[in-house]
Amino acid sequence: MALSVDFAFEGFRIIRERPILTAWWGVVLLAGIVLSTALLMSVAGAEWNVLASEFDLFFRGLPLKDPNAIPGLLLHFGPAYLLTVMLSLVFSAVITCAIYRAVLGGYSDRFGFLRLGKDEVRQVALSFILTFIVIVVGLICAVIIGVLGTLLSLIAGAVMKALIPIIGALTVMATIAFNIWLMVRLSMVSVQSFEEGRLNITGSLKLTQGRFWSLLGGFIVAFLMAVVVAVLINSVYTALASLITGKDIKALSEIPQPDMSQLANILSPLNALSLFVNGMIAPLTTAITVGAVASAYKMLKAAKTLV
């Protein structure tokens, strides 16, 4: 039996029916963003400035100012960045668990479902475990598909050289498809581990068996809705940035790079606006995507109970 994709709209239901709750999550996520940014600016602000400038040139296809200095900058910037990642993971875990409590039901809504305990620590650990699994399994798959693709290319080359680029493209597509399949099949790990109060890596494979396409369709819908929300808010951000800078800014890429060299610059109008906009986008997109996963889990669990 196909799974209804109604779960994709769970996040919007939360936003519509409980706007104050969503705003409270936004305050918490904004605090996390500000703390992470402040930490990075105070420890490696100068390096952040230079790297941001160099990467901006790289993505624009322009020559770098000092490519030889990048490795040294990354060595100093890396540890500080890892600290901010850990801090961000903690705040993300707190909000993720809050959304799970709101969707799954049966939990006290005190403090907006926000807690900081074993559930949140478990979610942080799962972030590393799942990332490791996806990377390792993905690499193994890429190697296997790559070897098969090379063999097929050799065989095709002996018959018709025009087939070689086609086989190469199919190899890349097969690798991407496998990674998507893996992420969908493991999509219930986080919420199932939360509800059961223990790490459960394999349970998701059983729950999602035979439901891949329904889940993929729902996740795509939720992702697109999150993108639309982010684009709309960023459109307002672009307009406000144009007013602040006095320049005719029509795209995010045209907004001047903020000065991150000193912690005091975090209060500059453009930096403050950027942080505030991110604080608006984060709770909305998180509610949409995480809410979809939690709702899908409820449906899968209910369907399993009926069988």
- Binning pLDDT at 50, 70 and 90, where does residue 77 land? confident
- Per-residue pLDDT at 158: 58
Other beta carbons less than 10 A from residue 279's beta carbon: 18
Collapsing DSSP to helix, strand or coil, 111 comes out as helix
- Binning pLDDT at 50, 70 and 90, where does residue 117 land? very high
For the record, the structure tokens of 264 come out as 């005091």
pLDDT at 160 over 70: no
- Per-residue pLDDT at 185: 94
pLDDT at 307 over 60: no
83 is in which domain, residue-wise?
5-306
pLDDT, tens digit (0-9, with 9 covering 90-100), for 9-23: 999 899 999 999 999
pTM of the model: 0.87
pLDDT at 1 over 70: no
- Per-residue pLDDT at 233: 92
For the record, the structure tokens of 122 come out as 């478990």
pLDDT at 24 over 80: yes
pLDDT, tens digit (0-9, with 9 covering 90-100), for 81-116: 888 889 999 999 999 999 999 999 888 888 899 999
Task: List the alpha helices (DSSP H) in the chain.
Answer: 10-17, 19-59, 70-104, 118-159, 163-185, 189-196, 203-207, 212-245, 269-306
pLDDT, tens digit (0-9, with 9 covering 90-100), for 184-213: 999 999 999 999 999 999 999 999 998 999
Collapsing DSSP to helix, strand or coil, 197 comes out as coil
pLDDT at 291 over 80: yes
- Per-residue pLDDT at 31: 92
User: For the chain, what is the domain count?
Assistant: 1
- Per-residue pLDDT at 163: 64
More confident residue, 52 or 216: 216
pLDDT at 289 over 90: yes
- Per-residue pLDDT at 39: 87
Share of residues in the chain with pLDDT > 70 (%)? 93
- Binning pLDDT at 50, 70 and 90, where does residue 218 land? very high
Q: Which residue has the tokens 């926000």?
A: 114
Other beta carbons less than 10 A from residue 107's beta carbon: 14
Residue 107 CB partners (closer than 8 Å, separation 6+): 101, 113
- What distance in Å separates the CA atoms of residue 264 and residue 38, rounded to the nearest whole number? 9
Q: How confident is the model over 141-154, as a mean pLDDT? A: 75
Q: How far is CA 123 from CA 57, 95, 120, 142, in A?
A: 36, 11, 5, 28
- Per-residue pLDDT at 100: 96
- Per-residue pLDDT at 27: 92
What is the rounded average pLDDT for all residues in the chain? 85
- Per-residue pLDDT at 109: 86
- Per-residue pLDDT at 161: 63
- What distance in Å separates the CA atoms of residue 215 and residue 8, rounded to the nearest whole number? 9
More confident residue, 250 or 3: 250
Collapsing DSSP to helix, strand or coil, 67 comes out as helix
Mean pLDDT check: name the lowest of 70-74, 197-201, 269-273. Answer: 70-74
- Per-residue pLDDT at 50: 79
Q: How far is CA 186 from CA 131, 160, 192, 215, in A?
A: 11, 40, 10, 11
Other beta carbons less than 10 A from residue 273's beta carbon: 17
